[in-house]
Amino acid sequence: MTDQANEPKTAAASAGLRGVVAGTSTVSDVNGEKGELVYQGYNIHDLAKQSTFEEVVFLLWHKRLPRRSELDELKQGLSRYYDLPREIIELMKQLPRGSDLIDVLRTVVSALELYDPSARDISREASLRTAIRLTAQFPTIVAASDRLRRGLEPIKPDTRLNIATNFLYMLKGEIPPEHDARVFDVALILHADHELNASTFTARVVAGTLADMYGAVTAAIAALSGPLHGGANTNVMKTLLEIGELANVEQFIKRALSEKRKIMGFGHAVYKTEDPRATHLRKFSQEMGERAGDTKWYDMSRQVEALMMRQKSLYPNVDFFSASMYYMMGIPLELYTPIFAVSRISGWTAHILEQYADNKLIRPRAEYLGAHNTPYVPIDQR
Ligand code: COA
């Protein structure tokens, strides 16, 4: 008798699991038709206008907005862990200078587990502590990796500052203008979570084996690093730099499309209309350009956007305008994907907490396309 529960549910597997509902969650919801993104019930547009990254972190982990005292407590808890163990900084100094910074982050997160005596404790209480440590330490790791790459000493975090301000401070060694810090804070809000994207799904698969949070997050960073996921934002800026001038945009895009090349920062597996995060990032890209007195990258981005709509009916995604926005903030492009992780750690940890709370090993089936009953031929007869 066949075991029906173990039989694959679909005859034709959906390529890339598009449209397959692979689990339940309250963390966030993406409505691809309407272009809506919701975190624990709150529309991303309201959060972008009124909230802060720390408040969103609380919301993702606790499923509700914090009271003032709870937010203060979380901020204190986070700032207590901003600094890295001395051994971790020493380890970072040993890594090859030219390493990709997202790979440095992945390596360091894996190593951090060895310095956390309660890493293996996956109770909600201990996991929340790990989530606080990781969310607090990501900006420090990323800023330190950039400083070391440039042959500079890492800057100690300033525990009086929020995550966004402290990150920009650790990059450059000076307190950023209030406007830049707020724009960066909103960028962190916008990248915080996005349902079962590739890296979050990866995190949940690893957590589903009851491996610890560091392991799940390390795997998530690896998934994020790919050019089809979080690696796209760096490639967007590389493309803009390669195009060089507004006058070159049309010819460049037309040629790239005729060669069937993908233009990074366009298209989305779920959104069939404007990505609501791009709405804010487009505005910030313009604002940052205007403040710096140089809207060249914004203007080029707008033209790429218009051409992509005309030629392919594709909308920009979260990675498109964030690239020119960070560039105008003076942030090196090597940092764009790690910055995505500085924000997304909040969503990954929220999903891992959710997975641990009601765990079931994630183990789908594959539609087997290979042969059956192939006779074995000994090696010297092949
Ligand atoms: N540039 C040019 N063409 C694109 C494109 C892009 N950025 N994104 C999709 N397309 C085209 C594909 O070439 C394909 O065309 P075809 O049917 O003529 O072969 C069609 O649109 C479908 O592409 P596919 O990759 O199957 O779409 P998807 O919805 O499964 O994939 C992405 C979504 C995000 C992987 C895809 O749009 C992409 O690779 N974008 C660039 C990378 C990126 O920005 N990633 C960040 C995502 S937030």
Tokens at 242, concatenated: 């390669």
Between 15-19, 169-173, 287-291, 313-317, the lowest mean confidence (pLDDT) is in 15-19
4 pLDDT exceeds 60? no
- Our separate counts of H helices and E strands in the chain read 16, 3
* pLDDT single digits (tens) 124-161: 999 999 999 999 999 999 999 999 999 999 999 999 99
331 pLDDT exceeds 60? yes
How does DSSP assign 121-160, residue by residue?
--SHHHHHHHHHHHHHHHHHHHHHHHHHHTT-PPPPP-TT
CA dihedral 297, 301, 307, 309 (to 10 degrees): -170
Strands annotated E in the chain: 28-31, 36-39, 42-43
Longest C-alpha distance within the chain, in Å?
Answer: 76
Find, among 69, 80, 65, the residue nearest to 163 by Cα. Answer: 80
pLDDT average, residue stretch 5-22: 71
* pLDDT single digits (tens) 86-100: 999 999 999 999 999
Tokens at 52, concatenated: 């802060």
The reported pLDDT for the residue numbered 172 is 94
Average pLDDT, the chain: 95
The residue contributing the CA closest to ligand 1 atom 27 is 269
Q: Which residues contact 321 (CB under 8 A, 6 or more apart)?
A: 265, 278, 281, 282, 284, 285, 301
pLDDT average, residue stretch 356-371: 95
Q: Which numbered atom of ligand 1 lies nearest the CA of 318?
A: 48
pLDDT average, residue stretch 37-63: 98
Between 16-20, 196-200, 317-321, 377-381, the lowest mean confidence (pLDDT) is in 16-20
Distance from C-alpha of 248 to C-alpha of 300, rounded to nearest angstrom? 9
Ligand 1 test: best mutation among 266, 274, 275, 336, most atoms within 8 Å of CB? 266
The reported pLDDT for the residue numbered 365 is 92
CA dihedral 219, 351, 183, 227 (to 10 degrees): 30
Tokens at 263, concatenated: 């233009």
Quickly state the pLDDT bin for 5 (edges 50, 70, 90).
very low
Quickly state the pLDDT bin for 339 (edges 50, 70, 90).
very high
The reported pLDDT for the residue numbered 9 is 52
Q: How much distance in Å is there from the Cα of 317 to the middle of ligand 1?
A: 11
48 pLDDT exceeds 60? yes
288 pLDDT exceeds 60? yes
Q: Which residues contact 53 (CB under 8 A, 6 or more apart)?
A: 162, 163, 164, 185, 188, 189, 192, 343, 346
The reported pLDDT for the residue numbered 12 is 54
Tokens at 267, concatenated: 């298209």
The reported pLDDT for the residue numbered 34 is 97
Active site residues: 268, 319
3 pLDDT exceeds 50? no
pLDDT average, residue stretch 30-43: 97
The reported pLDDT for the residue numbered 231 is 86
The reported pLDDT for the residue numbered 340 is 97
The reported pLDDT for the residue numbered 13 is 66
Cβ count near 167 (within 10 Å) = 27
The residue contributing the CA closest to ligand 1 atom 45 is 228
Ligand 1 test: best mutation among 224, 228, 305, most atoms within 8 Å of CB? 228
Quickly state the pLDDT bin for 10 (edges 50, 70, 90).
low
Find, among 214, 218, 220, 232, the residue nearest to 268 by Cα. Answer: 232
309 pLDDT exceeds 60? yes
153-159: long-range contacts (C-beta < 8 A, 24 or more apart)? 154/89, 154/92, 156/83, 157/79, 157/82, 157/83, 159/79, 159/80, 159/82
Q: How much distance in Å is there from the Cα of 268 to the middle of ligand 1?
A: 7
1 pLDDT exceeds 90? no
